[in-house]
A and B are shown apart, each in its own frame.
Chain A
Amino acid sequence: MTTTLKLFLLFLAATVLHWAFMTVLGEVGLSVNVMLVFACAVCAYLKPQYGYPAAFVCGLFLDFFGVKLFGNNAFTFTLCAMAIYALEKRLDFDAPVPQMISLWGLGLFATLFNLLLLKVFANFSAWMGFWPLLGGVTLNAVLAPAVFWAVRRAFAREIKA
């Protein structure tokens, strides 16, 4: 129960952060996906019964703003959660470098896969260019250690258990 409550409060904080980054960086065409970083951090430290629903809800939150397709971000985030759980034995998610590398790769995958889903299911092309894509993905990676640190700090007791 405490874990769920903490998860909910952190989710709220993540949405505010996502909003703030979108407002500030959206004007220069950069997209920082704080929700993806948060979902990956939760999956890296918590059990699947918390990780998968958190990733799905974070995806739904982003889907809520779309007008073309609903469920694409939820789908992508669930796949990213699967990737994090598959990588947890191979990568040390306590160190910043694996966090950044994994988030860079997953950020790129999530953006491209979302574009593909939009094209396939909604016949809509949202391609904004190579540099905005790389910029956003790199910013995700830069932000990852801070978000992972916050999640690890919040769930210190659960991680030890």
Chain B
Amino acid sequence: MQRKSQPKKQASQGSRRRKILPAVFVLLSLLLMVLPLESPVASVKALLSYIFIPQIRAAHAAVEYAEGVSAAVRDLLDTHRENERLREEMDRLQLENAQAKEVFAENELLRAALGWQPPRIWGGVWAKTAYREPTQWNSVVIDKGAQEGVSERAAAIALKDGQPVLAGVVVETDDHTSKVLLVRDEDFSAAVSSSVSQEDGLLVGAGAAPLKMLYLPLLSEIAEGERVYTSASSSIFPAGILVGEVLEVEEEHPSSTSLTARVEPAADASAVRELFILTPKTAGDKK
């Protein structure tokens, strides 16, 4: 009698577990979703970072190593040709550098004569994209964090055809990793100005659609094809970084008080592999 009741007991325990376990995890995940992202969830994330961050770094290193093997072979084959090219480039740059030094010295003198403030010089660190969820093109994880000098709200810059372009802004930092919100994200915003008409506006992300440049004056002469750069009025981004190109200026609505321009971002979210994260320093910090 006892022998018969034992398997039954085990079976009922198993079926109870089958019901209770998913219910517990469903409730737990619902709770995590409903709670605000700031305080309680941030604590859970901080706790998880102790488990996941070393793993992320190990995974990233393994992938980089695997990628590096083929790249190293290719590099070896190209080294001689590249060496020649770099020598020529170096000679040219040395000449340019000498000229630039003269111009800088002259500039300093003129600045002193006019009593102008020294400009802000921006330094930074290069970081590689460690993780990107293709279905969520709005953010990437980079392999540099607070220990390397990356701070929240720092500008992230990508290179496109050798030209620096605005890619996003750092929103979360850990010791050795950070999250960068890309320009297309709806939460992204930056003060920008157009290159020709010199109109200032607020640039905001619009998901998969082109970016929006808001609050342009109704009589603005901003035109299609104009380049858009970060504005000097921005407190986060240094002025003069290319953001994108005006695709169209939205038609005036009878009740609207400003114009909106659609801007195609210069940085391609899906192709971002390396980012330069800016760390502010003044001219006095020269090393």
Given A60-B48, A70-B41, A78-B26: A19 and B21 interface contact (C-beta under 8 Å) = no
Give chain A nearest CB distance to B260 CB in angstroms. 19
| Residue of A15, A18, A67 contacting most chain B CB atoms (<10 Å) | A67
Bitwise interface map of B from 40 to 64 toward A, beta carbon under 8 Å scored 1, else 0: 0100110011001001101110110
Chain A residues lying within 8 Å of B55, measured Cβ to Cβ, are 12, 15
Decide if A75 touches B172 in the complex (CB within 8 Å): no
**In the complex, chain B residues whose CB is within 8 Å of the CB of A12:** 55, 58
- Asked whether, in the complex, the Cβ of A71 is within 8 Å of the Cβ of B135, the reply is no
Q: Is the interface of B mostly helix, strand, loop or mixed?
A: helix
Given contacts A19-B59, A27-B270, A121-B34, contact A70 B22 (CB under 8 A): no
Q: What is the bound-complex CA distance between A16 and B61, given in angstroms?
A: 9
Also in contact, A126 and B186, with CB within 8 A (given A60-B48, A71-B31, A78-B22): no
Q: Which residues of B contact A56 (CB under 8 A)?
A: 25, 28-29
B25 and A78 contacting across the interface, CB-CB below 8 Å: yes
Contact B18 A136 (CB under 8 A): no
- Of A52, A81, A132, the residue contacting B135 (CB under 8 A) is A132
Which A residues lie within 8 Å of B52 (CB)?
61, 64
A-side interface mostly: helix
Note all chain B residues with C-beta closer than 8 A to A29: 134, 270
Contact across chains for B207 and A49 when beta carbons are under 8 A apart: no
Contact surface of A with B, Cβ cutoff 8 Å: 12, 15-16, 18-20, 22-23, 25-27, 29-31, 47-49, 52-53, 55-56, 59-72, 74-75, 78-79, 81-82, 85, 111, 114-115, 117, 121, 124-128, 132-133, 136
Contacts A22-B133, A67-B138, A126-B138 known; list 19 others, CB within 8 Å: A12-B55, A15-B59, A16-B58, A16-B63, A18-B59, A19-B63, A20-B59, A20-B62, A22-B134, A23-B67, A30-B134, A48-B18, A64-B48, A70-B41, A75-B29, A75-B33, A124-B138, A125-B208, A126-B136
B residues lining the A interface (CB < 8 Å): 14, 17-18, 21-22, 25-26, 28-34, 37, 41, 44-45, 48-49, 52, 55-56, 58-60, 62-63, 66-67, 131-139, 141, 171-172, 179, 181, 186, 207-208, 270-271, 273
